[in-house]
Structure 1
Amino acid sequence: MKLSTSQTRFLRSQAHNLKPVVMVGGKGVTEALLEELEIALNAHELIKVKVSAEEREERDEMIDILCRKSGAVKVQRVGHIVTLFRRNSQNPKIELPK
Structure 2
Amino acid sequence: MLTGKQKRFLRKEAHHLKPIFQIGKAGLHETMFKEINDVLEARELIKISVLQNAIEDPNEAGQVLAEKTEAEFVQVLGNVITLYKKSENNPNLQLPR
TM-score, normalised on structure 1?
0.88
Root mean square deviation, CA, Å: 1.9
Counterpart secondary structure, 1:20: coil
How far off is 1:52 after superposition? 2.2
Matched, 1:58 2:57: yes
How far off is 1:57 after superposition? 6.7
Taking the aligned partners of 1:59 and 1:39, their CA distance within structure 2 comes to 21
Unaligned runs of 5+ in 2: none
Amino acid corresponding to residue 26 of structure 2 in structure 1: K
How far off is 1:90 after superposition? 2.2
Instruction: Name the % identity.
Output: 37
Aligned length: 97
Amino acid corresponding to residue 85 of structure 1 in structure 2: Y
Counterpart secondary structure, 2:41: helix
Q: Which residue of 1 aligns with 2:18?
A: 19
Taking the aligned partners of 1:50 and 1:30, their CA distance within structure 2 comes to 15
Q: Which residue of 2 aligns with 1:6?
A: 5
Q: Which residue of 2 aligns with 1:90?
A: 89
Unaligned runs of 5+ in 1: none
How far off is 1:64 after superposition? 1.7
Taking the aligned partners of 1:55 and 1:22, their CA distance within structure 2 comes to 13
Q: Which residue of 2 aligns with 1:47?
A: 46
Counterpart secondary structure, 2:57: helix
Counterpart secondary structure, 1:23: strand
Distance 1:80 1:56, change over 3 A: farther
